[in-house]
């Protein structure tokens, strides 16, 4: 086992030069004579590309074979691709290069030249027979194209987008067909296709005349096409290979009597057909148009008119007609927002026949009304393009009124539960509406903030304050000046009155003496306390002096003296001499001067 692995490894390591060769079974061939061309590679290649076998017909191939040989520990892998070919015409033909990718390298074979001669005579055939056979084969090549035709036919070549077209592939034959094989179905790009299904199992033959010749005709395949876009759309060829039985020259009497034949392989292609597709007109296109083309009718049905909330309701819409009914998407039904809607169940009863796709499609909606009330199911509008009148048509169902009664409340739900409450559904979004009040229009670019008026108004406050401040200060100054003058003067005035009192004392004029002292004290207090003489009384004097923080003792002393003076004006005083009174008054004034603030 180990040895084998090692051997395999060494084989892989000694990767010799990979060769890619082409060989043919014979360089000289005759028309109709099969030969084999082989492309061999001694290694593993990928993406083999065969040459273009122009002038040859491929009978079979590519036949792929691969072999692994291990000789003395040397493992060789070889692959070959072979084709069985038949030359169609004589002359010198070339088989081009084939390509293959090996380890990122692209290898190619040398082209091979093949000399094709006219059909080689068979060894046992006589010269005459050879001659006739040659004629026959020649006839084959020329006549089969007339004996066997494949045609693609459309019932309309000028259609609207979405309009249905019937495409039939017809086989025209004058020869007997032994076998047939579909080589290539056309890829019908740009069309939505539906196969016509009701075709009989047995091929129905009928006779038709085409280009002056009578043919047996059969429909090979029928399809209904719906163009998906506008413009010229090409229907590519349909390719088939037939084995046709043709008459062969009789080689003996029996053959002459019963007729002789041989089977010939023959490939046919249909001629491409171009369909001109017009876009649907823009003019008059309804808003809800969803691409339906053909002819339709619509019908809606509601199974109940009255029900309880949370019960089910069936709303079905049946669309009947011919056209691209299978391509119609869900309908835009307008149901009340309080109805719970499920995706519709779509049931199709559609037949694809030679005269078009027709049938009906039913959309059944299961609805559950969640709240009681009277609801209306609005008419459902459906628009289609009518190909016969070339106009858009809008059809509508009827409206239905549904009465939803109060549903049963389940017993196990408590009375205060909010189980019946639902979130408010937001149906749509829109911008908020315009402002309709006073527009408050201003000049563009004008703003109150930063304008002259603004700064003026703003400054007016501080200016006002400054003015008021100045005004108050001035007032205060004036007032305080008066007081100060009076204050300063108070001592002098008092001194004058007291001097006067001394004079009166010398003249022994007692009453005048006391009056002078009284006036002196009153005048002094009036100036000091900044009060009019008329406003002076005991209370105001006490208040004024207390405000100015004069001691109670001094105030009492002052009041005693004042009382004494007042009394002495009317009655003689005994307890104090005049001189003592004078000294006392002087002392009081001096003390007040000292203490007053």
**What does the binding site for other proteins look like in residue numbers (CB under 8 A)?**
429-437, 439-444, 446-451, 453-454, 456-458, 460-465, 467-469, 471-472, 475
Q: Residue 452 Cβ, how far from other proteins at the closest point, in Å?
A: 8
Q: Residue 376 Cβ, how far from other proteins at the closest point, in Å?
A: 24
Q: Which is nearer to other proteins, 437 or 572 (CB)?
A: 437
Q: Which is nearer to other proteins, 346 or 465 (CB)?
A: 465
CA torsion, ordered 334, 337, 339, 345, to nearest 10 deg: 40
Q: What phi, psi does 371 have (nearest 5°)? A: -135, 150
Q: Residue 228 Cβ, how far from other proteins at the closest point, in Å?
A: 27
Contact 565, 518 (CB under 8 A): yes
Q: Which is nearer to other proteins, 210 or 454 (CB)?
A: 454
Q: Residue 543 Cβ, how far from other proteins at the closest point, in Å?
A: 16
Q: Tokens 């903030």 sit at which residue?
A: 449
Q: Which is nearer to other proteins, 419 or 468 (CB)?
A: 468
> CA 438, CA 445: separation in Å to the nearest integer?
19
Q: Residue 433 Cβ, how far from other proteins at the closest point, in Å?
A: 7
Q: Residue 279 Cβ, how far from other proteins at the closest point, in Å?
A: 24
> CA 217, CA 198: separation in Å to the nearest integer?
18
> CA 183, CA 359: separation in Å to the nearest integer?
33
The strand pair at 306-308 and 400-405 is best described as: parallel
Q: What phi, psi does 195 have (nearest 5°)? A: -75, 140
Query: What residues contact 301, with CB distance under 8 A and at least 6 apart?
Result: 315, 316, 317, 318
> CA 62, CA 41: separation in Å to the nearest integer?
14
Q: Which is nearer to other proteins, 6 or 456 (CB)?
A: 456
Q: Which is nearer to other proteins, 200 or 461 (CB)?
A: 461
Q: Which is nearer to other proteins, 113 or 548 (CB)?
A: 548
> CA 119, CA 121: separation in Å to the nearest integer?
6
With 0-12 CB in 10 A as exposed, 13-18 as middle and 19+ as buried, what is 326? Answer: middle
Give me 439's structure tokens.
């527009």
Q: Residue 36 Cβ, how far from other proteins at the closest point, in Å?
A: 60
Q: Residue 428 Cβ, how far from other proteins at the closest point, in Å?
A: 11
Q: Which is nearer to other proteins, 427 or 506 (CB)?
A: 427
Beta bridge partners of 320: 297, 360
Contact 148, 270 (CB under 8 A): no
Q: Which is nearer to other proteins, 47 or 429 (CB)?
A: 429
Q: Residue 429 Cβ, how far from other proteins at the closest point, in Å?
A: 6
Distances in Å between the alpha carbon of 231 and those of 159, 165, 228, 387? 10, 15, 10, 17
Q: What phi, psi does 503 have (nearest 5°)? A: -60, -45
Distances in Å between the alpha carbon of 391 and those of 264, 274, 282, 293, 521? 53, 25, 11, 10, 126
Report the SS3 class of residue 137: helix
Q: Residue 542 Cβ, how far from other proteins at the closest point, in Å?
A: 21
Q: Which is nearer to other proteins, 510 or 530 (CB)?
A: 530
Closest by CA to 551, choosing from 591, 501, 503, is 591
Q: Residue 451 Cβ, how far from other proteins at the closest point, in Å?
A: 8
Count how many residues are written for the chain. 597
Q: Residue 481 Cβ, how far from other proteins at the closest point, in Å?
A: 17
Q: Which is nearer to other proteins, 416 or 448 (CB)?
A: 448
Q: Which is nearer to other proteins, 451 or 556 (CB)?
A: 451
Q: Which is nearer to other proteins, 213 or 463 (CB)?
A: 463
Q: Residue 476 Cβ, how far from other proteins at the closest point, in Å?
A: 10
> CA 297, CA 274: separation in Å to the nearest integer?
32
Preceding amide of 516 cis, omega within 30 = no
Question: Which DSSP string corresponds to 193-208?
Answer: EEE-----SSPPPEEE
Q: Which is nearer to other proteins, 346 or 464 (CB)?
A: 464
Q: Residue 359 Cβ, how far from other proteins at the closest point, in Å?
A: 41
Containing 545, the helix (H) or strand (E) segment is: helix 538-547
End-to-end Cα separation, the chain, in angstroms = 132
> CA 557, CA 553: separation in Å to the nearest integer?
6
Give me 100's structure tokens.
């293959």
């Amino acid at each position: 086992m180990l040895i084998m692995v090692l051997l395999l490894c060494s084989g892989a390591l000694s990767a010799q030069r990979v060769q890619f060769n082409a060989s043919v079974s014979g360089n000289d061939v005759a028309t109709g004579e099969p030969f084999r061309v082989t492309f061999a590679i001694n290694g593993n290649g990928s993406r083999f590309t065969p040459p273009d076998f122009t002038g040859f017909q491929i009978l079979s191939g590519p036949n792929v074979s691969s072999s692994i040989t291990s000789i003395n520990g040397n493992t060789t892998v070889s692959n070959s691709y072979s084709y069985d070919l038949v030359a169609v015409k004589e002359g010198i033909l070339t088989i081009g290069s084939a390509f293959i990718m090996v380890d990122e390298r692209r290898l190619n074979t040398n082209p091979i030249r093949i000399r094709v001669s006219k059909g080689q005579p068979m060894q046992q055939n006589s010269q005459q027979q050879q001659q006739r056979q040659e004629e026959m084969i020649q006839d084959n090549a020329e006549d089969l194209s007339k004996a066997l035709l494949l045609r693609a036919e459309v019932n309309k070549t000028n259609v609207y987008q979405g309009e249905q077209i019937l495409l039939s592939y017809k086989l025209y034959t004058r020869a007997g067909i032994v076998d047939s094989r579909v080589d290539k179905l056309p890829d019908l790009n740009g069309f939505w296709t539906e196969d016509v299904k009701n075709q009989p199992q047995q091929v129905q033959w009928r006779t038709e005349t085409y280009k002056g010749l009578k043919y047996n005709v059969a429909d090979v395949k029928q399809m209904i096409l719906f163009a998906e876009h506008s413009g010229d759309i090409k229907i590519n060829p349909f390719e088939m290979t037939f084995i046709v039985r043709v008459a062969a020259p009789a080689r003996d009497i029996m053959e002459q009597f019963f007729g002789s034949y041989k089977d010939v392989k023959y490939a046919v292609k249909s001629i491409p057909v171009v369909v001109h597709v017009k876009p649907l007109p823009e003019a008059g296109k309804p808003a809800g148009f969803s691409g339906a083309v053909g002819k339709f009718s619509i019908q809606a049905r509601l199974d109940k008119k009255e029900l309880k909330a949370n019960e089910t309701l069936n709303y079905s819409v049946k669309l009947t007609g011919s056209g691209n009914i299978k391509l119609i998407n869900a309908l835009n039904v307008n149901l009340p927002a309080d109805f719970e809607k499920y995706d519709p169940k779509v049931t199709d009863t559609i037949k694809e026949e030679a005269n078009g796709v027709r049938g009906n499609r039913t959309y059944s909606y299961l609805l559950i009304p969640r709240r009681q009330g009277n609801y209306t199911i609005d008419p459902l509008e459906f628009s289609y393009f009518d190909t016969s009148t070339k106009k858009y048509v809008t059809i509508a169902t009827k409206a239905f009124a549904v009465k939803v009664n109060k549903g049963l409340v389940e017993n196990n739900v408590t009375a205060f539960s909010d189980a019946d409450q639902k979130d408010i559904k937001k149906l749509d979004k829109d911008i908020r509406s315009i402002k309709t009040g006073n527009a408050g229009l201003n000049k563009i670019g004008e703003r109150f903030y930063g304008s002259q008026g603004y700064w003026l108004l703003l400054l007016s406050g501080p200016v006002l304050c400054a003015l008021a401040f100045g005004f108050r200060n001035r007032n205060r100054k004036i007032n305080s000046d008066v007081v100060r003058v009076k204050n300063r003067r108070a001592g002098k005035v008092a001194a004058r009155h007291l001097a006067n009192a001394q004079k009166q004392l010398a003249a022994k004029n007692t009453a005048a003496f006391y009056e002078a002292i009284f006036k002196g004290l009153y005048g002094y207090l009036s100036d000091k306390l900044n009060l009019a003489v008329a406003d002076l009384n005991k209370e105001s004097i006490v208040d004024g002096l207390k405000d100015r923080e004069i001691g109670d003792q001094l105030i009492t002393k002052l009041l005693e003296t004042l009382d004494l003076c007042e009394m002495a004006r009317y009655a003689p005083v005994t307890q104090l001499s005049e001189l003592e009174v004078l000294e006392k008054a002087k002392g009081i004034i001096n003390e007040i001067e000292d203490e007053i603030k």
